Chains A and B, each alone.
Chain A
Amino acid sequence: MNSDLANEVRAASITGTMVAYYFICHRKLWLFAKGLNLENISGNPDVIKGRVLHESRFQRESHKEVSFDTVKIDFLHYGDQVYVHEVKKSKKFEEAHTWQLKYYIYLLQSKGVNCSSGVIHYPASMRKEEVYFSPEDQEHLEQTLAGIKAVLNERVPKKKDGRRVCSRCAYFDFCYV
């Protein structure tokens, strides 16, 4: 794998959340990356539910909150290879969650860890989705990372786009006031 790019990614401090936000809203991504994080202060009920799920589920897992570089993985399983696990509240942004997980696999692989798949858990709807990292994914992910860097280099955040999803976002008040 391209280790130069991996180093570049580390230098840009791209987190897993940022990868997911890239697929949800570029404006939110920009604000989040600049330290203007509204998740924890908005009182948004979805955010609170998500945090409660995160704190209450998978208590018995032993390899939780594994941090390295700029990311933090919900929990890991070890078998013939390493499996990445991520807990999410709703399946609404499944594509974003999938790429977040693939980014973790990509970073692990760049460190020489034998890992190519993982699971996204949706405990609220009692579902889970398996994710496989294919060689084609790598190219798409690298394009994504370049896209994220381009968004972060913007001088002002992208204009709000008035989508229906906005009304349930923790950044709604900030964007629409």
Chain B
Amino acid sequence: MSRTYYVFSPGRLQRRDNTLALEFQGERRVIPVEDVDHIYCFSELDLNTRLLDFLAQKQICLHLFNHYGHYSGSFIPRESQLSGFLLVKQVEHYLDPGKRLVLARTFVTGALHNIRRNLEKREYEDTCQKLDEIKEGISKTAFIEELMSLEAHGRKAYYDRWEEITGWEFSSRSKRPPGNALNALISFGNAMMYTTVLKEIYRTALNPTISYLHEPSERRYSLSLDVAEIFKPVFVDRIIFRLINLGMIKENHFDINVNSAYLTEEGRRIFVKEFEETMEKTILHRNLKRNIRYKSLIRLDLYKLIKHLLGEESYSPMKVWW
């Protein structure tokens, strides 16, 4: 159980002879079920409850995206990892403003550190300095709102450099809908990161709705948003820079209208391929003293978060060391 499968063309996904089969345009492709971890679906798919039951039995998640590449939802098998004890601890750290602030600050500090690393390589001294000042301010914040506005300042300083880094038009961050190609890439990349973190959260006993930086009332799996903050600069942003700077993705991979831009199917394929390859790369972990995949870094951070919640050791987020 390790691979993620992506479906881009409309068809029918079904259970067949105790494994999965994808039928499209009269063709049938058999997918070995033991090899599947997650299925991402970017097109129309016919399916039935027999399939869903089978996916549940094999502990496979099915994530659905709409026509525009927005995340619509997931089919997630009945949770096998439950710990009432950890849930109580999670809530305790949310309800106590002091404890919540400690965790929220950690997420922002981690995110800013990783953002800075992306700029350090490119010698943007002034922006780095600005980020350092903001980082200093984090320890003085007393409210979540304050912290969030600091983070927004940091991010804006960072995004101001994007036109120089990529050579593409950016102006400012726009969402729902993204205003230009670069914004479309960020939105799509962040959605990928969000679901990747979410699937790791489901492997642990953490409850994905209780979060610290984002409000749990956002009607989303907001813990996933918290943790994704740390990993977005490392994975998504670096992939975007690589795709553009190496000329792998071009203007014709976008569907651009007056006030909105979306990745085309071909564009999504390119992004997802690069994303998958990045997540499968390995790196030597200094504490564990062995090679681990990039995607495992997320799980390891969740373990650290659990240890923090248990009161064992303080959470220090993943800081890029490469």
Residues of chain A touching chain B, judged by Cβ–Cβ distance below 8 Å, are 34-37, 40-41, 43, 155-157, 172-174, 176-177
| Chain B interface size, under 10 / 10 to 19 / 20 to 34 / 35 or more | 20 to 34
- Whole-angstrom distance between the alpha carbons of A84 and B295 in the complex? 43
With A156-B310, A156-B311, A157-B310 known as contacts, the answer to whether A36 contacts B287 (CB < 8 A) is no
CB atoms of A157 and B288 under 8 A apart: no
Which B residues lie within 8 Å of A176 (CB)?
A: 287-288
Which A residues lie within 8 Å of B285 (CB)?
A: 177
Chain B residues numbered 47-103 whose CB sits less than 8 Å from any CB in chain A: 80-86
Additional 9 contacts, C-beta under 8 A, given A36-B85, A41-B203: A34-B86, A41-B81, A43-B1, A155-B311, A173-B300, A176-B288, A177-B288, A177-B300, A177-B303
Interface of A, secondary structure class, is: loop
Chain B, Cβ-Cβ closest to A33: B85
Which A residues lie within 8 Å of B300 (CB)?
A: 173, 177
CB atoms of B86 and A36 under 8 A apart: yes
- Whole-angstrom distance between the alpha carbons of A41 and B204 in the complex? 8
- Whole-angstrom distance between the alpha carbons of A34 and B310 in the complex? 11
Does B205 belong to the interface (CB within 8 Å)? yes
Chain B, Cβ-Cβ closest to A41: B203
CB atoms of B304 and A177 under 8 A apart: yes
- Whole-angstrom distance between the alpha carbons of A177 and B301 in the complex? 8
Which B residues lie within 8 Å of A41 (CB)?
A: 81, 203-204
CB atoms of B86 and A35 under 8 A apart: yes
- Whole-angstrom distance between the alpha carbons of A157 and B1 in the complex? 30
CB atoms of B81 and A35 under 8 A apart: yes
- Whole-angstrom distance between the alpha carbons of A155 and B205 in the complex? 18
CB atoms of A177 and B82 under 8 A apart: no
Which B residues lie within 8 Å of A172 (CB)?
A: 288
Chain B residues numbered 132-149 whose CB sits less than 8 Å from any CB in chain A: none
- Whole-angstrom distance between the alpha carbons of A41 and B287 in the complex? 20
- Whole-angstrom distance between the alpha carbons of A25 and B300 in the complex? 21
Which A residues lie within 8 Å of B84 (CB)?
A: 35
Chain B residues numbered 157-171 whose CB sits less than 8 Å from any CB in chain A: none
How far does the Cβ of A154 sit from chain B's closest Cβ, in whole Å? 11
Does B306 belong to the interface (CB within 8 Å)? yes
- Whole-angstrom distance between the alpha carbons of A176 and B287 in the complex? 7
CB atoms of A36 and B205 under 8 A apart: yes
- Whole-angstrom distance between the alpha carbons of A27 and B310 in the complex? 13
